[in-house]
């Protein structure tokens, strides 16, 4: 199958730090790709390169290409907001927008003009809150501030908000690390449900989570992709010594 | 007694002292203004302009100064807002070079520290050069200059406390810089911004020195931006300077009116920002 995302010869520098080195990667469509590795290995940087978040930091330089559906997202004339609309982000800490629960989900629909007649907004908000597994808990207080939710609920709200812009790709930057175990499991279950429709890329340092979720595994170390492949190969029969060492908990 | 207990006691003492110092000075000011001003205050003071012989103790009121002050401070606050909000948003969202933003901030801080009489003198020179006379317009411009650094730095501090993650959340949804600034940054910051605006308004309405040369003083309510205008601080100043006790008491009455306006504005701003802060992320 044609890969959904192709990373070609990607190099990223933060001022003088060489954060990503010669990354070549193909990310399959409609599967969960888990990027794992010790902290500081560049996995978040790689994730941020996929929705063009790197350029928010002005000291970043990069070279190479990233293609989504064969099109270079860094090519001249590409609208950065379109790239970000294609790739929803679930951050490490949930950050609701300063609006009501309802408006948090509706915001993306509004800025992209996805609901030309206002009436369908209600239906979409409900749909995505259901998809994120939050609807039952918030249906009676949709117009209350999003801050009233627990952290776990906020993360699911952020998921609903991200899904509402109808992305093709979901990027998760350790999205469960700030959550309690039950909320984390909630998010994991959602991701499992969603992978039939979305290409999901998950950064994690939790090995057990990687084993539970991954359809495809990328192991990174010191800014390089050491090894990538199917979970059966990587977890049970790693070809590289460093992968083995990581799996055995040596880092 | 242990050393730590003594330290605790000393610190507690200082806290009590600073607390009572702040509360008492506010209390003393209010009591003085009320005790001296309230007897002289009557309805005529509030709804009449000065009649002939007002400054000798005859009838009339300070409506000219009340309306004049509201015109001056209101106009100046609007004018300052038009400039300071874009400056503050620019400093945060657009400025890519940090040293440049810091330089703007430093300039604003220096402007903040400049005494208002200097603004008055500067405005006066400017008006002479432009051939303007003391007028409502001149007063508004100079007061706006006075308010601008207060308002901008107030907003800037508020906007700088904006969590970067929240902006990134908006960017991740595909919002542009402009949309993020207008829908997310502004909304999160609105309570603080309102506070900054009203703080600047309070400073503007209470300032005497900057309007002394630039706005002039008149017993009438101006019907044009180019006419001179009275103001409450100058009403206090002029009436207190007369040798007649009843007129001096009216100065306290004018001070009372000014204090009440400022009190209403600051209490109102607290109420307003609490209401608007319903959705902000803490």
CB contact under 8 A, A146 and B281: yes
Residue B113 in this model has a pLDDT that exceeds 70:
yes
Model ipTM over 0.85: yes
- What span, in angstroms and rounded, lies between the C-alpha atoms of B116 and B210? 5
Residues of B in contact with A114 (CB under 8 A): none
Contact A78/B at CB under 8 A: no
Return the number of other C-beta atoms located less than 10 Å from residue A55's C-beta: 13
Q: Is A11 exposed, middle or buried (0-12, 13-18, 19+ CB in 10 A)?
A: middle
Which residues on adjacent β-strands are paired with residue A11?
A63
Q: Which chain A residue lies closest to B280 (C-alpha atoms)?
A: A98
Instruction: Note whether A36 and A219 are within 8 A (CB).
Output: yes
Tell which CATH classification among 3.30.1490.100, 1.10.3720.10, 3.40.50.150, 3.40.50.300 matches the domain B63-276.
1.10.3720.10
Chain A residues 181-200 with CB within 8 Å of chain B: none
Contact B236/A at CB under 8 A: no
- Element at B11 (helix H, strand E): helix B3-37
- What span, in angstroms and rounded, lies between the C-alpha atoms of B273 and B27? 25
Interface test with B, best of A97, A102, A165 (most B CBs within 10 A): A97
Contact A98/B at CB under 8 A: yes
DSSP state at residue A100: B
Q: Which chain A residue lies closest to B97 (C-alpha atoms)?
A: A58
Instruction: Note whether B238 and B49 are within 8 A (CB).
Output: no
Residues of B in contact with A147 (CB under 8 A): 279-282
CB contact under 8 A, A82 and B188: no
* Nearest alpha carbon to residue A171 among A194, A151, A153: A194
- What span, in angstroms and rounded, lies between the C-alpha atoms of A235 and B101? 50
Instruction: Note whether B203 and B233 are within 8 A (CB).
Output: no
For B223-241, the pLDDT digits (tens) are: 888 899 999 999 999 999 8
The pLDDT value recorded for residue B95 is: 65
Instruction: Note whether B51 and B60 are within 8 A (CB).
Output: yes
The pLDDT value recorded for residue A1 is: 66
For A118-175, the pLDDT digits (tens) are: 678 899 999 999 988 899 999 999 999 998 899 999 999 999 999 999 999 999 999 9
Return the number of other C-beta atoms located less than 10 Å from residue A164's C-beta: 28
For A225-250, the pLDDT digits (tens) are: 999 999 989 999 888 888 988 888 87
For B40-91, the pLDDT digits (tens) are: 888 888 888 888 777 777 788 899 999 999 999 999 999 999 999 889 888 8
Q: Give the alpha-carbon dihedral of B20, B25, B28, B33, to 10 degrees.
A: -150
The radius of gyration of chain A from alpha carbons, rounded to an integer in Å, stands at: 18
CA B266-B271-B272 angle, 5° bins: 95
Residues of B in contact with A108 (CB under 8 A): 173-174
The minimal CB distance from B174 to the residues A58, A84, A97 is found for A84
Instruction: Note whether A173 and A45 are within 8 A (CB).
Output: no
Cα first-last separation, chain B: 41
Q: Which chain B residue lies closest to A163 (C-alpha atoms)?
A: B173
CA distance A171 to chain B (A): 10
Q: Is B21 exposed, middle or buried (0-12, 13-18, 19+ CB in 10 A)?
A: exposed
For A81-101, the pLDDT digits (tens) are: 999 999 999 999 999 999 999
Alpha helices in A88-180 (DSSP H): 101-111, 119-131, 135-138, 151-164
CB contact under 8 A, B165 and A95: yes
- Which residue is associated with the tokens 């010594």? A241
Range of the domain at A86: 5-98+169-247
CA atoms within 13 A on the CB side of B193: 21
Sequence spans of domains, chain B: 63-276
Q: How far is CA B221 from the centre of its chain?
A: 22
Return the number of other C-beta atoms located less than 10 Å from residue A176's C-beta: 23
- Which residue is associated with the tokens 């400054």? B55
DSSP state at residue B50: -
Contact A228/B at CB under 8 A: no
DSSP state at residue B53: T
Q: Is A143 exposed, middle or buried (0-12, 13-18, 19+ CB in 10 A)?
A: exposed
CATH number for the domain harbouring residue A35: 3.40.50.300
Return the number of other C-beta atoms located less than 10 Å from residue B108's C-beta: 21
Give the number of domains in chain A: 1
Q: What is each CA distance from A209 to A56, A181, A185, in whole angstroms?
A: 29, 11, 10
The pLDDT value recorded for residue B94 is: 66
Q: How far is CA A152 from the centre of its chain?
A: 17
The whole model's pTM is what? 0.75
Residues of B in contact with A107 (CB under 8 A): 170, 173, 183
Residue A164 lies in a domain: no
DSSP state at residue B221: P
- What span, in angstroms and rounded, lies between the C-alpha atoms of A142 and A101? 5
pLDDT category of residue B187 using cuts at 50, 70 and 90: confident
Contact A51/B at CB under 8 A: yes
For chain A, what percent of residues have pLDDT higher than 90? 69
- What span, in angstroms and rounded, lies between the C-alpha atoms of A225 and B109? 49
Residues belonging to chain B: 282
Average pLDDT score over residue span B133-152: 93
In terms of phi and psi (left: phi > 0; alpha: psi -120 to 50; beta: otherwise), the region of B115 is beta
Residue A237 lies in a domain: yes
Q: How far is CA B216 from the centre of its chain?
A: 19
Q: Which chain A residue lies closest to B170 (C-alpha atoms)?
A: A97
- What span, in angstroms and rounded, lies between the C-alpha atoms of A117 and B182? 23
* Nearest alpha carbon to residue B76 among B123, B133, B125: B123
- What span, in angstroms and rounded, lies between the C-alpha atoms of B41 and B34? 10
The minimal CB distance from B170 to the residues A82, A88, A97 is found for A97
- At A96, list the tokens: 């609701």
The minimal CB distance from B279 to the residues A91, A95, A100 is found for A100
pLDDT category of residue B96 using cuts at 50, 70 and 90: low
**The dihedral sign for the CA sequence B121, B125, B130, B132:** positive
CB contact under 8 A, B174 and A97: no
- At B77, list the tokens: 């606050």
b/e sequence A96-110, b meaning 16+ C-beta within 10 Å:
bbbbbbbbbbbbbbe
CA distance A102 to chain B (A): 12
């Amino acid at each position: 199958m044609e890969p959904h995302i192709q990373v070609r010869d990607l190099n990223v520098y933060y001022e003088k730090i060489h954060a990503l080195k010669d990354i070549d990667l193909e990310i399959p469509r409609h599967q969960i790709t888990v990027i794992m590795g010790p902290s500081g290995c560049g996995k978040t940087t790689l994730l941020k390169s996929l929705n063009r978040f790197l350029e928010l930091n002005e000291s970043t330089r990069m070279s190479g290409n990233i293609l989504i559906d064969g099109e270079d997202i860094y090519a001249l004339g590409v609208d950065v907001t379109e790239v970000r609309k294609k790739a929803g982000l679930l951050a490490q800490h949930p950050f609701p927008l300063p609006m009501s629960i309802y408006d948090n989900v509706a915001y993306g629909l509004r800025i992209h003009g996805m609901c030309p007649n206002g009436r369908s907004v209600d239906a979409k908000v409900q749909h995505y809150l259901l998809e994120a597994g939050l609807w039952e808990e918030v249906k009676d207080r949709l117009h209350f501030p999003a801050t009233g939710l627990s952290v776990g609920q906020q993360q699911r709200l952020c998921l609903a908000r991200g899904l509402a812009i109808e992305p093709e790709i979901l990027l998760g930057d350790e999205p469960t690390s700030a959550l309690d175990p039950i909320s984390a499991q909630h998010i994991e279950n959602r991701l499992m449900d969603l992978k039939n429709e979305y290409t999901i890329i998950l950064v994690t340092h939790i090995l057990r989570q990687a084993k539970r979720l991954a359809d495809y595994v990328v192991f990174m170390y010191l800014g390089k992709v050491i090894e990538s492949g199917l979970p059966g190969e990587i977890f049970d029969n790693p070809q590289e010594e460093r992968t083995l060492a990581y799996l055995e908990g040596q880092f | 007694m242990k050393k730590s207990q003594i330290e605790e006691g000393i610190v507690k003492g200082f806290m009590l002292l600073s607390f009572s110092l702040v509360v008492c000075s506010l209390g003393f000011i209010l009591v003085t203004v009320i005790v001296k001003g309230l007897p002289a205050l009557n309805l005529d003071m509030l709804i009449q302009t000065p009649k002939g012989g007002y400054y000798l103790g005859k009838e009339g009121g300070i409506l000219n100064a009340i309306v004049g002050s509201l015109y001056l401070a209101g106009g100046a606050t609007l004018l300052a807002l038009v400039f300071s909000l874009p400056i503050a948003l620019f400093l945060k969202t657009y400025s890519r070079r940090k040293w440049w933003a810091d330089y703007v901030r430093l300039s604003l801080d220096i402007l903040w520290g400049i005494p208002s009489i200097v603004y008055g003198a500067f405005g006066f020179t400017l008006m002479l050069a432009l051939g303007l006379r003391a007028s409502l317009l001149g007063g508004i411009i100079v007061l706006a200059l006075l308010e601008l650094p207060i308002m901008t730095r107030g907003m800037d501090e508020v906007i700088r406390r904006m969590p970067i993650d929240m902006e990134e959340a908006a960017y991740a949804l595909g919002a542009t810089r402009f949309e993020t600034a207008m829908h997310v940054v502004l909304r999160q910051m609105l309570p603080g911004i309102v506070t900054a605006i009203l703080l600047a308004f309070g400073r503007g309405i209470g300032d005497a020195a900057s309007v002394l040369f630039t706005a002039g003083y008149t017993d009438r309510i101006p019907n044009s931006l180019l006419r001179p205008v009275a103001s409450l601080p100058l009403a206090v100043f002029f009436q207190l300077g007369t040798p007649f006790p009843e007129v001096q008491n009216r100065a306290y009455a004018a001070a009372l009116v000014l204090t009440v306006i400022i009190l209403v504005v600051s209490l109102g701003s607290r109420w307003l920002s609490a209401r608007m802060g319903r959705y902000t992320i803490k």
